[in-house]
Amino acid sequence: MRYQHVCVEALAYSLPPQVVTSAEIESRLASVYERLALPEGRLELMTGIRERRFWDRGTTPGSLSAQTAELALAAAGFDRSHYGFLAHGSVCRDQLEPATASGVHQALSLPQSAFVLDVSNACLGLLNGMIMLANMIELGQVRAGLIVGTETGRDLVEATIDSLLENPRLTRQDVKLAFASLTIGSGSAAIVLCDRKLSRTGHRFLGGACQADTSSHRLCAGGIESETHGDSRPRMQTDSEALLQAGVQLAEQTWQETKRVLGWTNSHVDKAFTHQVGRAHRRLLYERLGLDTRLDFSTVEFLGNTGAAALPLTAALGIERGHVQTGDRVAFLGIGSGLNSIMLGLDW
């Protein structure tokens, strides 16, 4: 994928109000830790996550996405009549049907002629949306568009805690499979792409590559099993170690293809942003890609794993805090369960 006419005009984010520490989660699981002789501090020690954030109970992803999208539209600054595309790309959405994007579109008063849809691909939904929109801009079908998504991790984390507490036959292996669920946080991110002729910033979206390893699609799986658990909250099981190794291997392949497509070497990369999983993932990913961790900007320590919002949210924060300078070549290094990997290049 190579683009000549696409710019990243704005990135925006919203953060939830409630902070929940890893120590607080472990205090709720004290009886489980005692029964299985698990050491305190294990959650933060293994992941590097000291806290994550949650939205207020009952808040819908779509309503939050509309708020974040408004921030992105304001930052872009051009008339809404130019927007011909809106995708909602988070794992979390308001309902199965209609698309959560429909409610967001109505709240934003975007043109009736716009393409409006949800994009679902685990932690890569917003990056998939970027590619779809960039293709349409490059073809001249639309002049500008918006990708937005909001993850609401509270239900998954609290449901996982309750399931662990309520299982009288709980084993260390059960805890291991549920462990990744306790790293989940919440957040919201939005991205505006536009035609180069419309852009005021000139931040070029150069293109990138994607790769899939669907033989690993069972390593992380989540959903709602009301008959098993007795409620409608989601649950997830993750083979974290196997997922780490398979994900990084796929990322290495994707990075090689991305460099070939963009004509880059590692020395071309000035800054990088990744999906926020944990300390071990970050270290191994950069080691395998041959990139210096000093290029990275990390939010996992205080936001946890915010799903499909993680990478663009982190990029928005990093840009806001001066991690990226004008003229930097920026890499988006995305991996999602499935397994899929998307890696993109930007010229800031």
Single out the catalytic residue among 7, 9, 92, 123.
123
Q: Please indicate whether residue 123 is annotated as part of the active site.
A: yes
Which residues 6+ apart lie within 8 Å of 248 measured at CB? 281, 284, 285, 288, 335
Q: Are strands 6-14 and 187-195 parallel, antiparallel or unpaired?
A: antiparallel
| Number of helices (H), then strands (E), in the chain | 13, 13
Neighbours of 140 (CB within 10 A): 9
Strand partners, 342: 210, 334
Phi-psi region at 330: left, alpha or beta (left = phi > 0; alpha = psi -120 to 50): beta
Distance of alpha carbon 68 from the chain centroid? 15
**Could you give the strand order of the β-sheet that contains 340-347, starting from the edge strand earlier in sequence?**
115-118, 83-88, 144-151, 187-195, 6-14, 204-212, 340-347, 329-336, 271-274
DSSP conformation letters of 282-348? HHHHHHHHT--GGGB---HHHH-B-GGGHHHHHHHHHHHTTSS-TT-EEEEEEEETTTEEEEEEEE-
Backbone dihedral angles phi then psi of residue 118, each to the nearest 5 degrees: -95, 145
Q: Are 282 and 300 in contact (CB under 8 A)?
A: yes
Of 26, 78, 14, 76, which is closest to residue 51 (Cα–Cα)? Answer: 26
3-state helix, strand, coil in the chain (%, to 5): 45, 25, 30
3-state secondary structure of 80: helix
50, two tokens: 């000291």
Q: Are 226 and 232 in contact (CB under 8 A)?
A: yes
Backbone dihedral angles phi then psi of residue 105, each to the nearest 5 degrees: -60, -45
Q: Catalytic residue numbers? A: 97, 123
